[in-house]
Amino acid sequence: MNPAQLGKITKIFAPLAPFICLAGIVFLQSQEYKESVQKLNRLDYLAQEQDQERVLNWQKQSPSLGFSNLKANWSYLNFINYFGDRHARDTIGYKLVPDYFEAIAAIDPHFTQAHLNFSIANSMFAGNPEKTIVLMEKVLESVDPESEQAALLWTSKGLDELLFLGDKEAAIASYKMAAKWANLPTSDRPDGLTIKDLEKALESTDEIDVKSAQIRAWSSVLVYIKDNQRRGEIISKIDSLKDEILVLEKTKVQE
């Protein structure tokens, strides 16, 4: 990719940088809940994960009895404890992340901050951006558009649609909804761009740039995936995107 193309991509994704920085929130919070002593072996971690899965299933099925906020907070703290156990996650991966996301989305769809963190954890660390988008759509059906940070839910969805699915049209639609919810369709952003500028930039971005961004996104996920089947699926996806880029480049040359 030449410098002009790289600059173009950087300009497109620059407005999304504040959202990407949310990834650090989970890490910062997790430090308070980390188990700080010994490293266990793989079998110990798997047994521990099975126990956590049983608790999570119970949380999904038990009634809230009018205390959905309290139940969601408890589930979220359990998630932070799970996610923050770095030795375990480095050993066996992030299998339960989508289950935690699904549980809290059902218990309290208004828990915006949790859902924003889940979107990053589930897409980037658990390698399930497709499921993240589905769960975000479910959450967005219930969220108050005027609530704090609600517009970022659409931004999050758009980011996954663009970087992992390569669906520009869906991403643009999500960014338009983010602008509508934030009531800033024409207001200047702190970085000097407006949502409309972002839409125009995406519309003018060619397929090769989008697919290149997809390859980088999926490659960054691959390092966290411990499940061999999922790793194989992601590697196949990356290889397929590379083949598609070669075809597009050949077509350009012929034109």
Residue 198 has what pLDDT?
63
Residue 201 has what pLDDT?
65
In which residue are the tokens 């139940």 written? 71
d(Cα 240, Cα 203) in Å, to the nearest integer? 23
Under the banding of pLDDT at 50, 70 and 90, the label for residue 244 is: very high
Residue 46 has what pLDDT?
92
- Region of residue 141 (left: phi > 0; alpha: psi -120 to 50; beta: else): alpha
User: Based on the number of CB atoms within 10 Å of its own CB, is 127 exposed (0-12), middle (13-18) or buried (19 or more)?
Assistant: buried
Averaged over 126-147, what is the pLDDT?
Answer: 94
pLDDT greater at residue 137 or residue 58: 137
Q: Would you say residue 220 has pLDDT above 80?
A: yes
Do the beta carbons of residue 18 and residue 116 sit within 8 Å? no
Residue 197 has what pLDDT?
60
Residue 195 has what pLDDT?
57
Do the beta carbons of residue 89 and residue 121 sit within 8 Å? no
List pLDDT tens digits, range 63-117.
Answer: 767 777 888 898 999 999 999 999 999 999 999 999 999 999 999 999 999 999 9
In this structure, of 8-17, 42-51, 141-150, the range with the lowest mean pLDDT score is: 8-17
Residue 117 has what pLDDT?
95
pLDDT greater at residue 92 or residue 146: 92
Phi, psi dihedrals of residue 206, rounded to the nearest 5°? -80, 170
Q: In the numeric block, which tokens belong to residue 40?
A: 């266990």
**What mean pLDDT is reported for the chain?**
81
Q: pTM value?
A: 0.77
Structural domains in the chain?
Answer: 3-204 (1.25.40)
Residue 180 has what pLDDT?
86
Residue 64 has what pLDDT?
67
Q: In the numeric block, which tokens belong to residue 253?
A: 């040359």
pLDDT greater at residue 28 or residue 215: 215
pLDDT greater at residue 49 or residue 65: 49
List pLDDT tens digits, range 2-36.
Answer: 545 545 544 554 444 444 444 444 444 444 444 44
List pLDDT tens digits, range 225-238.
Answer: 999 999 999 999 99
